[in-house]
Structure 1
Amino acid sequence: MNPSAPDWILKFLNLFPKEELIGTFKNEHEFYEALKKTGFIYGISVSALPQKTLGNLKLTKEEFTKINLFHGLLFQFFQSNENGSYSDAINNILLFYKQLEKGKTGFFHKLTIAQSPSNTIEHILSARLQTANSLFKKNTISLLTYALLYLDVLSFKQWQKNADNVKNFYRQQETIILTACFYTLKSKLKKSKYDKLLIEFFESSSEYIIDGSEGGPATFLESLNYLDMDTNSTQRKYLLDLCYLTVWEDLKLDDSEQQFLQQLIVTLNLPESELQKNLSDLSTFSKKYTDKILLFEYSNPVKKFYKHSAATVKLLIIRNKDRLARELEESGELMVLLGHSTLRELSAAEKAKVKEQLLDICKTIPSLTIFLLPGGTVLLPLLVKFIPKLLPSSFQENRIEIDTKKK
């Protein structure tokens, strides 16, 4: 199964019967805990929920995120529609996203009208990953990770109860989470320069803060008592998890952070043991998979674009390496020019030939047609960068390896 190719949803549903995807979990709480272990709640999906293999491809964080988001929506549908079908679920998820569309004119119009419902959802899920940080889009140094995507699942649950109120519900939950994260971050005794930048940004974006009065965190915590948050739902646990994520960068809690989170626990009517459990869950996941789990990830926009583009190109090359290597070896002139490029700077005419012939090769491989799209040619240098790894060792015999230790 390839979550970056069309029809992956139908393939996913064909691989697993309903009993395996839904019946394995006794309730919403158990499903949430399992989803947290995949990293989805933390914004870093390292696996999917099904135990059975999804195929031979090595999936990326983004691909696992898409699968987990869809699985979460699917589970919520069957919680309310026990006898429903996969087809019913797909149609409902599509209707939900259509109604949730928040003033973004033309988003759904960009999707091909003739597409099947499952294909349309595939495009929507891809778009959701791209716009997961839309709240801070105007800010050039602060980007939200995928951790807020579980809000889609919570909102879909609400939509099935009251479809007319889903936009307000999403906005309310979004505001609650961001405000809670703001006050958790502000409670840190030792703030990094990035913490201070983020706090400044929050304070200048009053539309995301529930209360700007002198009461501060006390007023916010009190306001939670009047909000519609089901005691037995995962809303409260999710809010606490993201607050932990906000201050996790230093891998510990200082006294002021601990105090605010304990007050939050009391307000949310959760047992104090939940505080230690959440810390243990996050610590276990961090030690097992990564030492960097952040709710807010700072990056220069240009660097972030390059990093994401490089990862995309590398993935495309890995998944098409055999065919790409064969096409390159059959292109005599291109091979000669690429060989020369390892020894000297190519002329403008030679660079144009390399670009033209690479684009011709990309036309023959469907997955590489990304380079033919408007703006796709800016990725060609990245393609050239990874190409030598595909070619015979004789092609690289004159390459000079730089000893970084001498620098």
Structure 2
Amino acid sequence: MINPSVHGWIDKYFAEQQPLPQTFNSNEELFYTQTRATGFIFGHIISFDTPSPIEQQDWLPEEISKLGMLNTLFQMYRLTRQNNDFGHFINEAVAFYHLLTPKGFNPLQKMLASSSPSSKLEKIIHERVQTNEDLFSKNFSHVITNALLFIDVLAFKQYLENGSLPEKYFNRIEDTVISVISLSLKTKTGISPHDDLLLKLFESSVRYNKFSPTTIPNVESLDLSYLQNDLEKFYIIDLAGISLWSDAKVENEERYFLYKLGERLNIPDTFVLESIHFVNEFISQHKAEIPYFNNSNPVKNFYDQTTESVVVLIKRNKNRFLKEITESKELMQLLAKSTHKDLDKEEKKKIKKQLLDICKTVPSLTIFLLPGGSLLLPILIKFIPKMLPSAFNENEE
């Protein structure tokens, strides 16, 4: 099983995907629709377009984004170069991102100097999937990973085709994205409770511009001249569509906006109509899991995200963790007691101390030893009884 949080995951990904298909897609629209079907375009990945299926159950959102990013970059490489040389792909991807690094001293570049190409790419992808929020804000945010990662894929296409990037490519594409999304939100016939979250999503995902409301009055006034290929145009249509979505419908005025945008981009009405239907179906089906369509208290966000992370860590280390617990007779007795009785202050202190001792022996659980890590222990303690054999839970007798 691949674990995108552990060193070596890229090499393992390619090892598990062997043998790679020897047929190559040359249709850009097909590439785009297959990528869109995974949710990557919308920043909410529900599947991976891979030869061998990859289960993402018990994965953290960041891990899903990392693998989705790698796979989409590789599919772009296959589309452009028409081969499966993943070693060459990795080198090309590292060289591409090196172009984005400002010249001069760079601590990350110095740190990566002696790393293997796949290790370098792992670190780069880890950085790219992050939002531009600071750590504190991120903990309380609905937006967990960057939602505009497809811009990297579009830029990678430019690099593969030309060996370089057009000057300020990211700035220009982001600027167009900001204008279209901002105008889309302004065009909506009704205010949706999700609009603020969508704004937050895009604000925290841009890297080279500041997201601000547009002063452009209508779609006819948009400057779309920088968009040269269909993939860029398809992407703009879909981003406008997700911005206009509200309560499972798109009003006539909003449809007009999308069709007019398609006309300005020389995109057929058939694609625009398909985009409207796909966006509606995707959001309707996955709305409950899409963070930016769920308005909740920031503190609840923090608790939910932290709980998810702790549970995933425990599940991945379940066998070793349980082995350590069962070797402590006193801890087992206290945990069993906690399932049906309140523990006194002294007993709680004993559980805390012994659990921290166990966490020292399991590398993945050292998060609990970091400053503030003990605040996560109640989540850990709450989850442990579910892993214990039923014999230790008197409620199941």
Normalising by structure 1, we get a TM-score of 0.80
Instruction: Tell whether the 8 Å contact from 2:131 to 2:146 is kept in structure 1 after alignment.
Output: no
In the alignment, structure 2 segments of 5+ residues that lack a partner are none
For structure 1, list consecutive stretches of 5 or more residues without a partner in the other structure.
400-407
Establish whether residue 208 from structure 1 lines up as the match of residue 225 from structure 2: no
Cα offset, 1:279, TM superposition: 1.9
- In structure 2, what residue type is equivalent to 1:234? L
Out of 278, 282, 307, the position equivalent to 2:279 is 282
Q: Give the letter aligned to residue 9 of structure 2.
A: W
Shift of 1:64: 3.4
1:56-75 → structure 2 map (5 Å cutoff) = 59=59, 61-75=61-75
Classify 1:143/1:54 alpha carbon distance in 2 versus 1 (closer, same or farther; 3 Å).
closer
Query: Would the alpha carbon gap of residues 250 and 289 (structure 1) be closer, same or farther in structure 2, given more than 3 Å must change?
Result: closer
Counterpart mapping for 1:77-226 below 5 A: 77-82=77-82, 85-101=85-101, 108=108, 114-131=114-131, 143=143, 146-161=146-161, 165=165, 168-195=168-195, 207-209=210-212, 212=215, 215-218=216-219, 220-221=221-222, 223-224=223-224, 226=225
Number of the residue aligned with 1:10: 11
**Greater CA deviation, 93-102 or 148-157?**
93-102
Matching residue's letter, 1:335? M
> 1:404 aligns to what?
none
| Contact 2:73-2:153 at 8 Å conserved across structures | yes
CA contact (8 A) 1:143 1:299 kept: no
Q: Deviations over 1:226-251 (max 9, x none)?
A: 22x224x3111111111111132411
Give the distance between the partners of 1:79 and 1:199, measured in 2 at CA. 32
CA deviation after TM superposition for structure 1 residue 301, in Å: 4.2
For the residue of structure 2 that corresponds to 1:250, the secondary structure is coil
Paired with 2:100 and 2:221, the residues of 1 have a C-alpha distance of 26
Aligned position for 1:308 = 305
Partner SS state of residue 208, structure 1: coil
SS in 2 for 1:25: coil
2:44 aligned partner: 44
Sort the Cα spacing of 1:193 and 1:78 in 2 relative to 1 into closer, same or farther, 3 A.
Answer: closer
Distance 2:159 2:312 in 1: 36
Question: Is the partner of 1:152 in helix, strand or coil?
Answer: helix
- In structure 2, C-alpha distance between the alignment counterparts of 1:90 and 1:304, rounded to whole Å: 35
Secondary structure of 2:147's match?
helix
Aligned: 1:254 with 2:251: yes
| Counterpart Cα distance in 2 of 1:97 and 1:268 | 29
Q: 1:197 to 1:389 in 2, by over 3 A?
A: closer
Partner of 1:230: 228
Letter in 1 for 2:29: H
Aligned residue in 2 for 1:390: 387
Please, what TM-score do these two structures have when normalized by structure 2? Answer: 0.82
- Give 1:41 deviation, angstroms: 1.4
Which of 377, 382, 396 does residue 380 from structure 1 map onto? Answer: 377
Answer yes or no: is the 8 Å Cα contact 1:340–1:346 preserved in 2. Answer: no
Q: Name the counterpart of 1:242.
A: 239
Which moves more between the two structures, 233-242 or 67-76?
Answer: 67-76
State the alpha-carbon separation in 1 of the partners of residues 45 and 60 from structure 2: 9
- 2:247, 2:269 → 1: CA distance? 22
* 1:298 Cα deviation after fit: 5.1
Name the counterpart of 2:364.
Answer: 367
In 2 relative to 1, CA 307–132 (structure 1 residues): closer, same or farther, beyond 3 Å? farther
- Say whether the 8 Å CA contact 1:180–1:243 is kept in structure 2: yes
Partners of 2:246 and 2:119 in 1: CA distance: 38
Larger deviation: 248-257 or 143-152? 143-152
**2:185–2:195 contact (8 Å) kept in structure 1:** yes
> 3-state DSSP class of the match of 1:230?
coil
Aligned-pair CA distance for 1:85: 2.9
User: Could you tell me which of 259, 262, 265 is aligned with 1:265?
Assistant: 262
Deviation at 1:50, TM superposition (A): 1.6
Shift of residue 26, structure 1, vs aligned partner: 3.1
In the alignment, residue 23 of structure 2 is paired with which amino acid? G
Render the CA deviation track for 1:316-354: whole Å, top value 9, x for unaligned. 22222233222211112222333444422542x544432
Structure 2 counterpart of 1:405: none
Q: 1:360 to 1:25 in 2, by over 3 A?
A: farther
User: In the aligned structure 1, how far is the partner of 2:150 from the partner of 2:201?
Assistant: 23
Amino acid at match of 2:319: D
The 1:296/1:160 distance shift into structure 2, 3 A limit, reads farther
Quote the Cα distance in structure 2 between the aligned partners of 1:289 and 1:194. Answer: 14
Q: Give the direction of change, closer, same or farther, for the CA distance of 1:86–1:241 in structure 2 (3 Å limit).
A: same
Secondary structure of 1:130's match?
Answer: coil
* Partner SS state of residue 41, structure 1: helix
- Equivalent-residue separation in structure 1 for 2:395 and 2:18 (angstroms): 54
Where does residue 344 of structure 1 map in the other structure? 342
CA distance, structure 2, for counterparts of residue 395 and residue 5 of structure 1:
33
Percentage of matched positions with identical amino acids: 35
Q: 1:147 is paired with a residue of what secondary structure? A: coil
